[in-house]
Amino acid sequence: MHSRSVGYRGTVRRAREDLVAGRYRLGEVLGRGGMGEVYRATDEVLGRQVAIKLMRPVAQTLAIPERFLREARAAASVHSAHVVATYDFGGYDGGYYLAMELVSGRSASDALRRDGLFSPERAEQVVRQAAAGLAVVHRQGIVHRDVKPSNLLLAADGTVKIADFGIVRFLDDETTTTLTSTGEIVGTSHYLSPERALGEPATPASDVYALGCVLYQLVTGRPPFVGEAPASIMYQHVQKQPIPPRQLCTAVTAELEALILWMLDKNPDRRPTAAEVADGAAPPVPSDLVETTRLQSVRRLAGRPVLAGTAATFAVVLFAVLGIFLETRGVDLPATNDLTPDHSATTPAAVPGTASTPEVEGTATTPSTRPSARTPKVSSTRTAPRTESKAARPTGPRSHVKRAEPTKPNPGKPEKPRKPGKTKKPKH
């Protein structure tokens, strides 16, 4: 390996001839950025394909050694199926290298450019997988700060992986600010959250906003805000509302549009977390919509007072009838189908002093109808009892039912009273 550097391109040329760090042989270029280039490479020690990022320090820019080291440490601390894995980091010929997982596939930006719009279902799947990776990143106290389509890699098996931790911010490190030494805002203007456009520090909610911009672009073909200059785009992020996605693409469902607009809320406190997006959370119902629905319900009820009163009265009557019915269920009521006495079987009481009807002790005249031996319990229903002779009353237990007056044996003309001492001769 050469000990003296003759420029970045000369370093790359020698790296192709030699092995980077004594083990990585460079191949084709996979991508270029402001801080270096990414190559396909072969790890000669482990015999596997990797991606090598060669970074060149440039004074007064983001490409400074401290930032390279921060990227390597951030990427190495995150372990997720949706984050590109980091294998190795070190210095090489005045610069630095970062060995990473090689993802067989292409970025979301390449797929959008070559294949056109994503279907709503595919776009939502890509973003929810990316959100799962961001959730792990945020749990490590890291903010990515550069979420965009070119940093979402689509593997051949459908897995989405987040790449490029070059401008991450550690939440517990005050040295990682939003601005560069020249006063420029870190990040890409099309995906910059409103709070970051105002110069405030990036938070996990800022990454969610950027991911919402990506989702908007995947289904509409353009970011939420466009302009000729970054300042114009940043102004729109702060002051303007995006065009509803369904107006640009009719295939977008109402549910997906609600998710996009939820992620693009101007207030970072009202946005979902990355974990909520990954778990498929649905946007909350707006409070003004809830209030409107409540007022409409009150108006409908207030407009029908008579109907409500009638229904209440009917319910009371119905319950009363049911109560009476249930109270008398299972009670044996006395027979009331025949209350007329049987004159052929009823013997009138003897007149005192006559010999034709001697009084026998312990003998009672049989009534026309016998009272039931079973004494029913009657509630709320009064029934006339059976009639019987005054001289012949049953010797059984007294019923609690009030007895009626005995009926005279002859309903015709009443007999004249007989004079005492005279006995009427019986007819033959």
Pair (220, 196) in one structural domain: yes
Pair (66, 22) in one structural domain: yes
Mean pLDDT lowest for which of 85-99, 229-243, 307-321? Answer: 307-321
155 within some domain: yes
pLDDT of 65 above 80:
no
Is the Cβ–Cβ distance between 161 and 82 less than 8 Å? yes
SS3 percent helix, strand, coil of the chain, rounded to 5, is 35, 15, 50
pLDDT of 368 above 50:
no
Pair (60, 126) in one structural domain: no
Pair (87, 161) in one structural domain: no
Other Cβ atoms closer than 10 A to 255: 12
Looking at residue 188, its pLDDT comes to 87
In 10-149, the DSSP E strands lie at 24-33, 36-43, 48-55, 86-92, 95-101, 105-107, 142-143
CA-based nearest residue to 264, from 295, 309, 219:
219
Strand partners, 55: 36, 96
Is the Cβ–Cβ distance between 169 and 145 less than 8 Å? yes
376 within some domain: no
Of 43, 93, 146, 207, which is the active-site residue? Answer: 146
Q: What is the pLDDT of residues 380-412, one digit of tens each?
A: 444 444 544 444 455 544 544 455 555 555 555
Pair (236, 275) in one structural domain: yes
Tell me the residue range of the domain where 48 lies.
17-101
pLDDT of 253 above 80:
yes
Pair (43, 186) in one structural domain: no
Pair (114, 46) in one structural domain: no
Q: What is the mean pLDDT of residues 101-129?
A: 96
Cβ within 8 Å of residue 196, ≥6 positions away: 178, 185, 187, 202, 206
Mean pLDDT, all residues of the chain: 75
pLDDT of 364 above 60:
no
Pair (250, 268) in one structural domain: yes
Higher pLDDT, 52 or 173: 52
47 within some domain: yes
Pair (53, 196) in one structural domain: no
| CATH number for the domain that contains residue 201 | 1.10.510.10
DSSP 268: G
| CATH number for the domain that contains residue 74 | 3.30.200.20
**How many folded domains does the chain comprise?**
2
Active site residue 110: no
Looking at residue 176, its pLDDT comes to 55
Q: Indicate the pLDDT class of residue 353, thresholds 50, 70 and 90.
A: very low
Higher pLDDT, 339 or 22: 22
